[in-house]
């Protein structure tokens, strides 16, 4: 598995598009790892300090993710090195999408990612430059859909991704009008936890969890886990955190979700970051959800969690471990050998799967159909890992990567 991963990591991307904004310090990259199946897909992110290497690693991660979520296309990613709190953000994005539109028209599909919202940022700006939908390139390059069919499937994409949730089972509050794109990735993370316990370890029961981050993915994962009966005992966010050793109630988690300011945790008695960072790893929990930025989780943090009863890590963030390697560095390997680690390409594949589902002709578009499909896809991926060795609750990630890489190699023969 390691040899396969090393070869995949070291293979040069097929296309790298580099951009320098003429009016600000912003710079950006589109990295297309391959045009497997005639197209590639991956979201657009923005953060200060981002570099080409980060974009390249995420493009490769997307290629592995598509072996689970579908469609059978190459991985890609867009990244812009710029402060997302800068008031010129919209202007930068406007100029960015203007220059990358030819790629999006023909063979690349994108969406939202870190600090970039699918609904408010990506869709309006890509429409402005003549795209029916930011996934149009996948329909053109991979599905080779004729114009009439393309209009139909783009209609499904436009409606499905932006669909307002109407089923109270999937929304923390219906009157807030949360959309599928707001909730689906966190839902998939929670479902990966549920399916792990159903396959490998019995009832999810009264398990406890620590959540890292409080953006859409982290907060939604916590919301859905609490509905499954999991007790959230700690939350650590960039501004601070909260601890409740008895576990927050389902209502308390929903209230914390609804009271976010942007993607930040807010609460009356928020524990300062330095203090929560010293306390939370020793708290003790069965489940850990790293769902903040990439490459944050250290070996010491994993080791402390393991010493206090950790059973499972479900990766809400892409590449959550503090490794220089793209996929399976020493921190991730240590975690994988000591506890169950559901890798990011399975746990957080929800949005990618929604895109793939909506690209199919004549499908049902309802809250239950979209969310149930994501759950089923994640269950199938974990079932394949279970079938490879039903007795082993560790090395989930290494088995998952081996299955995914074999699929990629098979499609290139």
- Where do the structural domains in the chain lie, given as residue ranges? 13-144, 174-411
pLDDT surpasses 90 at 362:
no
Q: pLDDT value at position 413?
A: 42
Which of the 8 DSSP states describes residue 163? P
The predicted model gives 165-183 an average pLDDT of: 95
Pairing of strands 44-47, 15-20: unpaired
CATH number, domain 13-144, options 1.20.120.1200, 3.40.980.10, 3.20.20.370, 3.40.50.10860: 3.40.50.10860
The predicted model gives 158-183 an average pLDDT of: 93
Categorize the per-residue pLDDT at 5 as very low, low, confident or very high, splitting at 50, 70 and 90: confident
Pairing of strands 231-237, 44-47: unpaired
Percent of the chain with pLDDT over 90: 82
Pairing of strands 40-41, 27-32: unpaired
Distance CA 286, CA 223 (A): 17
The predicted model gives 335-348 an average pLDDT of: 97
Categorize the per-residue pLDDT at 160 as very low, low, confident or very high, splitting at 50, 70 and 90: very high
Q: What average pLDDT does the chain have?
A: 94
Helix (H) / strand (E) containing 374: helix 367-388
Condensed to tens digits (0 to 9), the pLDDT of residues 41-55 reads 999 999 999 999 989
Helical pair 2-10 and 396-412, crossing angle rounded to 10 deg: 60
Condensed to tens digits (0 to 9), the pLDDT of residues 9-27 reads 888 999 999 999 999 999 9
The predicted model gives 103-123 an average pLDDT of: 92
Helical pair 52-69 and 396-412, crossing angle rounded to 10 deg: 80
3-state helix, strand, coil in the chain (%, to 5): 50, 15, 30
**13-144 and 174-411 share one fold:** yes
Categorize the per-residue pLDDT at 412 as very low, low, confident or very high, splitting at 50, 70 and 90: low
Distance CA 373, CA 361 (A): 15
Q: Which residue has the higher pLDDT, 151 or 164?
A: 164
Categorize the per-residue pLDDT at 400 as very low, low, confident or very high, splitting at 50, 70 and 90: very high
The predicted model gives 291-303 an average pLDDT of: 94
Would you say 192 and 346 are in contact if contact means Cβ atoms under 8 Å apart?
Answer: yes
Categorize the per-residue pLDDT at 148 as very low, low, confident or very high, splitting at 50, 70 and 90: low
Half-sphere exposure (CA, 13 Å, Cβ side) for 242? 21
With 0-12 CB in 10 A as exposed, 13-18 as middle and 19+ as buried, what is 37? middle
pLDDT surpasses 70 at 161:
yes
- What CATH fold (topology level) applies to the domain 174-411? Rossmann fold (3.40.50)
Q: pLDDT value at position 201?
A: 84
Greatest mean pLDDT among 139-143, 248-252, 292-296, 407-411 lies in 248-252
pLDDT surpasses 90 at 32:
yes
The predicted model gives 339-359 an average pLDDT of: 95
Distance CA 16, CA 60 (A): 13
């Amino acid at each position: 598995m390691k040899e396969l991963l090393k070869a995949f990591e070291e293979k040069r991307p097929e296309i790298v598009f580099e951009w320098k904004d003429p009016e600000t310090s912003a710079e950006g990259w589109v990295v297309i790892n391959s045009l497997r199946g005639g197209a590639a897909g991956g979201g657009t992110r923005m953060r200060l300090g981002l570099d080409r290497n980060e974009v390249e690693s995420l493009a490769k991660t997307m290629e592995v993710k598509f072996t689970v979520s579908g469609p059978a296309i190459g991985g890609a990613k867009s990244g812009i090195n710029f402060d997302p709190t800068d008031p010129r953000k919209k202007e930068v994005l406007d100029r960015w999408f203007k220059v990358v539109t030819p790629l999006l028209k023909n063979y690349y599909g994108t969406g939202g990612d870190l600090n970039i919202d699918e609904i408010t940022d990506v869709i309006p700006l890509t429409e402005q430059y003549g795209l029916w939908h930011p996934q149009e390139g996948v329909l053109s390059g991979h599905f080779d859909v004729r114009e009439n069919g393309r209009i139909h499937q783009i209609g499904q994409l436009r409606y499905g991704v932006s669909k307002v949730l109407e089923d109270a089972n999937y929304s923390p509050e219906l009157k807030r009008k949360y959309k599928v794109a707001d909730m689906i990735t966190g839902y998939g993370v929670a479902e990966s936890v549920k399916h792990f316990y159903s396959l490998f370890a019995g009832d999810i029961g009264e398990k406890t969890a620590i959540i890292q981050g409080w953006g859409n993915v982290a907060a939604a994962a916590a919301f859905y886990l609490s509905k499954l009966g999991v007790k959230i005992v700690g939350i650590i966010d960039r501004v601070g955190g909260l601890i409740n050793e008895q576990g927050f109630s389902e209502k308390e988690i929903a209230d914390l979700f609804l009271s976010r300011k942007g993607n930040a945790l807010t609460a009356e008695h928020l524990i300062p970051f330095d203090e929560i960072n010293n306390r939370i790893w020793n708290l003790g929990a069965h489940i850990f959800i790293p769902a903040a930025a990439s490459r944050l989780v250290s070996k010491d943090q994993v080791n402390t969690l393991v010493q206090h009863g950790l059973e499972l890590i479900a990766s809400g963030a892409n590449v959550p471990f503090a490794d220089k390697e793209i996929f399976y560095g020493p921190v991730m390997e240590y975690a994988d050998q000591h506890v169950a680690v559901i890798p990011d390409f399975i746990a957080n594949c929800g949005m990618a799967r929604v895109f793939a589902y909506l690209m199919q002709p004549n499908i049902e578009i309802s809250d239950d159909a979209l969310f149930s499909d994501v759950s089923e896809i994640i269950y199938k991926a974990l079932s394949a890992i279970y079938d490879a060795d039903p007795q082993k609750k560790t090395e989930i990630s290494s088995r998952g990567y081996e299955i995914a890489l074999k699929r990629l190699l098979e499609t290139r023969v």
